[in-house]
């Protein structure tokens, strides 16, 4: 399950990048600087788009690293432009692409103790099911909703991406 989740995280980040490309086209057509959308949020107490995207990326890279018992790459969280955000996504997609199913052997029993857990831990399967998957999709969906709310023409298929339908 962990390797499948990482593959899905990668796909969803690629879909999110495509939504950002649509936002850039939207901004060009409407003649405004797309970078103003980086600070957009749905509610005053929500993270802005830039932090939503950083959170998606972090959740995906930390899940892959923790479940494969590796050290995650460090990102400075200093993105301010769409170019920066798209580069961040590309870095994480590249990182996730380097994993193979065998890298996650025994992931279910790995002890995961994120920095925010204050010394407490979860097993790998608990971390994946209770933290990584729901947190990742929360931030992806918030990013999508911010773009949609800003008038970007994104729809369900932009969110889902390519679906491998069979004849």
- Cβ proximity of 96 and 60 under 8 Å: yes
CA-to-CA distance for 74 and 23, rounded, in angstroms?
27
In this prediction, the residues of the chain whose per-residue pLDDT falls under 70 are: 1
CATH of domain 2-160: 1.20.120.450
Structural domain boundaries in the chain: 2-160
Q: What is the pTM of this model?
A: 0.95
pLDDT for 2 equals: 81
pLDDT for 17 equals: 98
pLDDT for 126 equals: 94
Q: What is the pLDDT of residues 22-46, one digit of tens each?
A: 999 999 999 999 999 999 999 999 9
- DSSP state string for 1-51: -HHHHHHHHHHHHHHHHHHHHHHHHHHHHHTS-GGGGGG--SSTTSPPHHH
């Amino acid at each position: 399950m962990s390797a499948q989740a990482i593959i899905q995280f990668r796909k969803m980040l690629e879909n999110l990048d495509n939504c950002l490309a649509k936002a850039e086209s939207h901004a060009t057509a409407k003649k405004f600087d797309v970078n103003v959308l980086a600070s957009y949020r749905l509610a005053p107490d929500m993270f802005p788009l830039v932090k939503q995207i950083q959170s998606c990326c972090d959740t995906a890279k930390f899940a892959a690293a923790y479940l494969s018992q590796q050290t995650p790459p460090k990102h400075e969280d200093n993105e301010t432009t769409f170019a920066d955000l798209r580069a961040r996504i590309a870095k994480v997609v590249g990182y996730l692409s380097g994993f193979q199913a065998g890298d996650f052997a025994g992931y279910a029993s790995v002890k995961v103790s994120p920095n925010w857990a204050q010394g407490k831990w979860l097993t790998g399967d608990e971390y994946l099911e209770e933290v990584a998957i729901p947190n990742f999709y929360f931030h992806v969906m918030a990013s999508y909703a911010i773009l949609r709310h800003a008038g970007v023409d994104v729809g369900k298929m932009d969110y889902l991406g390519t679906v491998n339908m069979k004849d």
